[in-house]
Amino acid sequence: MNSFAPAFTTGTSKMIVFSIKGQDYCLDIMLMREIRSWTTVTPLPNAPAYILGVINLRGSVIPIVDMSLRLYGRPYSTDKQRVVAIVECQNKISGLLVDDVTDIIDITPGSIQELPEFATHLSLRAVSGLATHQDRMMGVLRLDEVFNVEIDLSE
């Protein structure tokens, strides 16, 4: 079982759903640690643009990823309150800046579809597939790729 994608082949998995620029995304709820309100970050020199900086979370330094910039190449506007989803990927704690956390749902393996063939751009690797739930379609995040600093969004 990897620590960044749905780890099931039968049955259902609990997924947490959040919104980024009006689009729903989800990830295995077991990767979520907590949800926090936005706080000021300390910038890091020479970090990728989508890494806003770090925060101090109970004595631990946590990097914060602007998911709008990471997935869409555009930063959030400052006119709306955001939340930080604290997640764990490969034994490292990080934060995802998202619009809001909206739901907890059950997803079955059959409800996850592969991305279309044209969706092969490197920046799309952060999405492993598309999950359908009721009348919604949402991207399933791969946290290992969200935090992959080797990817250049300008390609």
Q: Two tokens at 5? A: 């994608």
Q: Which range, 74-78, 88-92, 142-146, has the best average confidence (pLDDT)?
A: 88-92
More confident residue, 117 or 131: 131
**Superfamily assignment of 13-146 in CATH?**
CheA-289, Domain 4 (2.40.50.180)
pTM tops 0.85, yes or no: no
Residue 37, pLDDT > 60, answer yes
> What contacts 120, CB < 8 A, 6 or more positions away?
none
More confident residue, 155 or 46: 46
